Amino acid sequence: MRRLTMFALPLLVLAAPFPAQAADVRDAAEALTDPVETDRMADTVTVLVDAIMRTNIGPLAEAIARVDPDSSAASIPYDATLGEVTGSDPDAGRRMGDDVRATSRMAGHLATAAAAYAPVLKDMARDLAAQWQRERDEARR
């Protein structure tokens, strides 16, 4: 009986907020499968990564070298960018943007499936909760 109780309690917690969660999942699925939205997210990531890789880190390296003259920062040129110092691929931003597009589409497919299964899972949780209640009532007699 204790094992059934431990199994049923999480289902009881899940059963109550499920309709709101399903609506949120449907909204997320819509956004993640919308090509305009995924392009916007991917373009944002591409621009951000490219901007970060073009960031001049020479002044930071100079400040570090003043505090610690033996650090490797002392060898970084004043006009060096983060991309140059890290040996980053110049297409890293574009590749990351493409990864965002692919990941968004896959997450959208997952969210769509989760939204489709939500009513079934809700019914299962409700049935298991009712069964748990019957078992508990029976055990108390």
User: Residue 34: which region, alpha, beta or left (left: phi > 0; alpha: psi -120 to 50)?
Assistant: beta
Mean pLDDT, range 16-39, rounded to an integer: 73
Per-residue pLDDT at 68: 94
CA dihedral sign of residues 64, 70, 72, 78: positive
Percentage of the chain modeled with pLDDT above 70: 83
Q: Rounded distance, CA 139 to CA 141, Å?
A: 6
The structure's pTM equals: 0.58
CA dihedral sign of residues 9, 13, 19, 23: negative
The predicted-structure confidence for 81-120, as pLDDT tens digits, reads as follows 999 998 878 888 889 899 988 988 888 888 888 888 888 8
Per-residue pLDDT at 17: 53
Structure tokens at 81: 């960018």
Mean pLDDT of the chain: 82
